[in-house]
Amino acid sequence: MLPAAALTLLVGMTSCTKDLDVTPIDPNLDTTVNYDGLFNKCYGNFGLQGNGGANGDCDIDDLDGGTTGLIRQMWNSNELTTDEALCSWGDDGIQQFDYNTYDSSHPMMNGYFARLTTGISYCNHYLEMAGDSDAQKAAEIRFVRALEYYLLMDAFGGVPFSTTLGTPTYMTRKEIYDWLVQEVTEIEPALADAKAKTSGDAMYGRADKAAAWMLLMRLYLNAEVYTGTAQWAKAAEYAKKVIDSSYKLNTTGANGWSAYQMLFMGDNGESSAAQECIWPVLCDGKQTTSWGVTLFLMASTWDADMDATANDPGGLNGTSEKWAGNRARINLVRKFFPNDDAPQVQSYDMKDYAGDDRALFFGTGHTLDNPLGYFGDFKDGYGVAKFINYKSTGSVVKGSDSQFPDADFFFFRVAEAYLSYAEAITRQSGANVTGAEATQYINALRQRANNSDLRTAYSLNELLDEWCREFYFEGRRRVDLIRFGKFGGDSDYVWVWKGGAKNGRNFSADKNVFAIPAKQLKGAIQQNPGY
């Protein structure tokens, strides 16, 4: 049996060997490793807390499984800290997210850091044991590891680094960036060809060349933030590779569900929506249950008064879970209703008032503003009804389980390539407004949403608003605000309760990266400035 300490980066939380597919044998004999099980474990770190489902053991010692869910903490750190979301739960750390007062003692960031470093260790273990057995699988696990390093670097800046089970070294954000570009470029030829697929296809849920292009696109789009040097041409190049592939925007609705809504439904892996998903985190109401992926996105944003469809009163979001936590800041709703005239209506009616299918807000009985901030209740702000477990095969068809959803989380989707390409070529040109080609891609998303306001050009600030309209509550807003200079530092943009003030106030640019959690400051690991 491998010692537990050998399975993690030294700065990560210890992972028990029982969580890996390792068969303990007499120490004088060989140890047999289930390579396929370990391969699946590397992917599973994105969606599962451990091997036992939602109520089983957690891979991260001394931390709650649901709370340490990778997608859940990526969402918390990138949404609650921005102009999109507020939460009033009493969980330690929520108020600090809401008001941008997080520091090295933040428990959720400790869990996020530990989840990422533990996942990296699983990948290192697979590559050490089975890296020479299958070239494509090895490339996929190198991609998974790279994606976790990207998330770690984006959130925390300089981080511990190792590609083996040995002692990690400290690498700066630029050094990690440079390694990531080289690593993903190197593995791309060994990945499967870019091909749109559904859950019935063998490669669904696994990374192909398009996933590598998406990660390179993100790196290059944010290169100026990470390294000080912009890479707009490279960002546009990889975005165009995705756009020209067999992956396409979903423009087809079904049974009263809009094409946009179908991206976030219980059968998004089976319907036409799947053609837009370049890499999903898999969820299944029977087989891969979790408190930290799409159930979190549904349950945390709903209460018992909300319904996804008028055809099923009392049906909620298609699950039995209604945690009444995360809701919209007024600044998010203003992206669709700039005059603060969003009506107090059901979410399925709101899009008609907004003239945009993406306006999936619930206003009945809610205040539009957030007068009490963290200390308000769930109705202190409009509800967000984006993620649901209904299926597009009918108007009231639900998922396979009454509690846990079948909806996959679309980590990468084609719409991101559209907006990345539009932004990159605009910035590369040195202009402050989009040209004809960039405008075409923005308008394609607005057309998909049945928005009739199709313009001939968009300013960069309007492009940032379009990022919000298309991707709100998908766990990326903080990254976009930082790239546009609208997050920490001397910004011209504030939102309600930014920095803990009702009318918003700026906070230090140091908070553009999170503090290295105090429990992870070991060996050569350095704390970020300002903490």
- pLDDT tens profile 210-255: 999 999 999 999 999 999 999 999 999 999 999 999 999 999 999 9
Q: Is pLDDT at 17 greater than 60 in this prediction? A: no
User: What Å distances lie between residue 73 and 92, 95, 191, 385, 398, CA to CA?
Assistant: 13, 14, 28, 20, 27
Contact at 8 Å (CB) between 477 and 84? yes
Q: What is the pLDDT of residue 52?
A: 83
Reported as a single tens digit per residue, the pLDDT across 420-438 is 999 999 999 999 999 999 9
Give dist(CA 502, CA 495) in Å, integer. Answer: 8
Q: What is the pLDDT of residue 16?
A: 29
Average pLDDT of the segment spanning 287-307: 95
Q: Is pLDDT at 58 greater than 70 in this prediction? A: yes
Q: Is pLDDT at 13 greater than 80 in this prediction? A: no
Q: What is the pLDDT of residue 15?
A: 32
Specify which residues 489 forms β-bridges with. none
Q: What is the pLDDT of residue 400?
A: 94
Q: What is the pLDDT of residue 32?
A: 65
Among the listed residues 179, 185, 250, 173, the one whose alpha carbon sits nearest the alpha carbon of residue 217: 185
Contact at 8 Å (CB) between 284 and 405? no
For residue 276, the tally of other CB atoms under 10 A from its CB is: 24
Q: What is the pLDDT of residue 51?
A: 87
Place of tokens 């040109």: 429
Global pTM? 0.94
Contact at 8 Å (CB) between 65 and 15? no
Measure the N-to-C terminal CA separation of the chain; round to a whole number of Å: 39
Would you put residue 162 in left (φ > 0), alpha (ψ -120 to 50) or beta?
beta
Alpha-carbon Rg for the chain in angstroms: 22
Q: Is pLDDT at 110 greater than 60 in this prediction? A: yes
Contact at 8 Å (CB) between 478 and 487? yes
Average pLDDT of the segment spanning 87-94: 95
Contact at 8 Å (CB) between 351 and 446? no
Average pLDDT of the segment spanning 492-512: 98
Among the listed residues 481, 528, 470, the one whose alpha carbon sits nearest the alpha carbon of residue 504: 481
Q: What is the pLDDT of residue 64?
A: 79
Pairing of strands 327-328, 409-413: unpaired
Place of tokens 């994105």: 46
Q: What is the pLDDT of residue 33?
A: 73
Among the listed residues 197, 196, 239, the one whose alpha carbon sits nearest the alpha carbon of residue 218: 239
Give dist(CA 216, CA 214) in Å, integer. Answer: 5
Q: Is pLDDT at 271 greater than 50 in this prediction? A: yes
Contact at 8 Å (CB) between 111 and 519? no
Q: Is pLDDT at 402 greater than 50 in this prediction? A: yes
Place of tokens 């809610």: 366
Contacts of range 222-229, beta carbons closer than 8 Å, 24 or more positions apart: 222/154, 222/479, 222/482, 222/483, 223/177, 224/483, 225/482, 225/483, 225/512, 226/153, 226/154, 226/173, 226/174, 226/177, 227/173, 227/174, 227/177, 227/178, 228/174
Average pLDDT, the chain: 93
Specify which residues 400 forms β-bridges with. none
Q: What is the pLDDT of residue 67?
A: 83
Among residues of the chain, what percentage have pLDDT more than 90?
89
Among the listed residues 388, 285, 290, the one whose alpha carbon sits nearest the alpha carbon of residue 69: 290
Q: Which amino acid is at 127?
A: L
Q: Is pLDDT at 259 greater than 90 in this prediction? A: yes
Q: Is pLDDT at 25 greater than 80 in this prediction? A: no
Model confidence at 523, pLDDT cuts 50, 70, 90, reads confident
In this structure, what token pair is assigned to residue 372?
């009490």
Among the listed residues 200, 202, 212, 214, the one whose alpha carbon sits nearest the alpha carbon of residue 269: 200
Model confidence at 62, pLDDT cuts 50, 70, 90, reads confident
Contact at 8 Å (CB) between 239 and 231? no
- What SS3 class is residue 417? helix
Q: Is pLDDT at 12 greater than 90 in this prediction? A: no
Check residue 85 and report its DSSP letter: E
